[in-house]
């Protein structure tokens, strides 16, 4: 999979850009606040996922304009395809090959990309919700059905939590918890089963990428930590379903007391380690950045296996705090993959052997080579 062209109109600080990238490494170079990350974000939106910056839809359109438009042509599945996203306030009109789609999520699995941004360092540094999101976004691209199951689980979880709070004033409502427990366990078993298998594969691949990034000097590992202790390894989805439903029932009294569901996949985590110790507690900035890069490249490899072609790789401000050998790995050793890399310092890509460099200033491409 590769981007053939990208057209941006009135998006963020970009009044009008037309980009024709190469099939290898593409460097987006410029000073701070010139639009580098905006360009990466524009490409990412075609994956069907939300902004990796946590932005609201209303933030996308250039100030003083009512509408912004993104157009992408990309090569996949042996042919060129096109997509367009028209943004107006909180509304999105989405087209795939000139056919209007129900929502932007319909693009999931059509255009596949993997993104890294400095905010992803919080995957290592902060709480488990960030690491769950990494797993969920990755799984949703590889298995679009997963997104629907996750949405179903979150709806059931909100309903159950609302009911738990209501029971405090209306004890007779407790009998209705059985229905929500069954629903939660059904969705939850699917999520846990998929996450467990996915993290195991992700960790194995990330270990190889981390070895390449660190020139074999350090070892990466990651393990899945489910939101309740049932010894799930090797268990079928049905067995996980039964165990989760039983655990919800046993914990019902405490959940009613606190007014919240205290166990389930919404409490899952992933432990990330370098040389056998916690990267969160003991990893350096460079090691933590390398961990996320390894996980993202592993995600890329899984998508490539799933779709029989590599996804587009988007690396925003990735070069800082990486030594020369780690930079060389990203610039020159991601063979047969299209990569977009943003950076502020020309020295960061001085070792680029093949590729294109686009200089951006005030939201416009001012030079390319």
Asked if residue 265 and residue 124 are part of one domain, the reply reads yes
- Give me the domain span that covers residue 222: 114-310
Band of pLDDT at residue 203, cut at 50, 70 and 90: very high
263 pLDDT more than 90:
yes
Contact criterion met (CB below 8 Å) for 188 and 256? no
As a whole number of angstroms, the distance between CA 359 and CA 115 comes to 20
As a whole number of angstroms, the distance between CA 192 and CA 328 comes to 37
Asked if residue 318 and residue 218 are part of one domain, the reply reads no
pTM greater than 0.85: no
Q: What is the pLDDT of residues 5-52, one digit of tens each?
A: 999 999 999 999 999 999 999 999 999 999 999 999 999 999 988 888
**Percent of the chain at pLDDT exceeding 90:** 56
> What tokens appear for 276 in the block?
């056998």
Task: Give me the CATH number covering residue 29.
Answer: 3.40.50.300
Q: What is the pLDDT of residues 277-319, one digit of tens each?
A: 999 888 888 888 889 889 988 988 888 888 889 999 999 988 8
Average pLDDT for 150-179: 92
Asked if residue 74 and residue 218 are part of one domain, the reply reads no
Asked if residue 248 and residue 130 are part of one domain, the reply reads yes
Contact criterion met (CB below 8 Å) for 244 and 192? yes
Band of pLDDT at residue 179, cut at 50, 70 and 90: very high
Out of 100-104, 332-336, 358-362, least confident range: 332-336
Tally of domains in the chain? 2
- Give the model's pLDDT for residue 44: 94
Asked if residue 129 and residue 24 are part of one domain, the reply reads no
3-state SS track over 245-261: HHHHHHCHHHHHHHCCC
Band of pLDDT at residue 231, cut at 50, 70 and 90: low
Asked if residue 251 and residue 145 are part of one domain, the reply reads yes
168 pLDDT more than 70:
yes
In sequence order, which residues have a C-beta less than 8 Å from that of residue 174 and are 6 or more positions away? Answer: 167, 252, 256
- Give the model's pLDDT for residue 230: 64
Asked if residue 247 and residue 143 are part of one domain, the reply reads yes
320 pLDDT more than 80:
no
Asked if residue 232 and residue 177 are part of one domain, the reply reads yes
Asked if residue 62 and residue 153 are part of one domain, the reply reads no
Asked if residue 34 and residue 153 are part of one domain, the reply reads no
**Percent of the chain at pLDDT exceeding 70:** 99
Task: Give me the CATH number covering residue 183.
Answer: 1.20.1050.90
Asked if residue 327 and residue 217 are part of one domain, the reply reads no
Asked if residue 293 and residue 225 are part of one domain, the reply reads yes
């Amino acid at each position: 999979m590769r981007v053939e062209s990208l057209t941006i109109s009135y998006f963020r600080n970009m009044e009008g850009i037309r980009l024709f990238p190469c099939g290898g490494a593409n460097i987006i170079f410029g000073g701070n606040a010139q639009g580098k990350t905006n360009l990466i974000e524009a490409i990412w939106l075609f994956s069907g996922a939300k902004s990796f910056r946590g932005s609201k839809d209303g933030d996308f359109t250039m100030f003083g304009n009512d509408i912004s438009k993104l157009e992408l042509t990309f090569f996949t599945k042996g042919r060129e395809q096109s997509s367009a996203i028209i943004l107006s306030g909180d509304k999105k009109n989405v087209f795939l090959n000139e056919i209007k789609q129900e929502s932007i999520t319909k693009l999931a699995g059509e255009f596949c990309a993997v993104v890294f941004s400095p905010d992803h360092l919080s995957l290592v540094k902060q709480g488990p919700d960030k690491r769950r999101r990494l797993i969920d976004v990755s799984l949703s691209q590889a298995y679009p059905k997963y997104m629907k199951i996750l949405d179903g689980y979150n709806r059931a979880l909100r309903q159950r939590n609302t009911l738990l709070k209501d029971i405090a004033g209306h004890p007779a409502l407790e009998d209705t918890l059985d229905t929500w427990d069954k629903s939660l366990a059904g969705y939850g078993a699917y999520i846990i089963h998929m996450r467990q298998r996915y993290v195991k594969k992700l960790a194995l691949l990330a270990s190889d990428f981390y070895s390449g990034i660190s020139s074999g000097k350090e070892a990466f590992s990651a393990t899945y930590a489910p939101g309740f202790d049932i010894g799930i390894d090797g268990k079928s989805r049905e067995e996980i379903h039964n165990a989760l439903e039983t655990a919800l029932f046993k914990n019902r009294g405490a959940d009613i007391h606190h007014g919240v569901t205290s166990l389930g996949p919404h409490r899952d985590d992933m432990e990330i380690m370098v040389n056998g110790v916690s990267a969160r507690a003991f990893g350096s900035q460079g090691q933590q950045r390398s961990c996320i890069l390894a996980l993202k490249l592993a995600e890329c490899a899984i998508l490539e296996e799933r779709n029989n072609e590599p996804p587009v790789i988007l690396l925003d401000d990735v070069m800082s705090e990486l030594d020369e050998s780690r930079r060389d790995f990203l610039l020159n050793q991601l063979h047969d993959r299209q990569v977009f890399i943003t950076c502020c310092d020309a020295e960061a890509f001085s070792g680029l052997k093949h590729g294109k460099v686009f200089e951006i200033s005030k939201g416009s491409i001012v030079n390319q080579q």
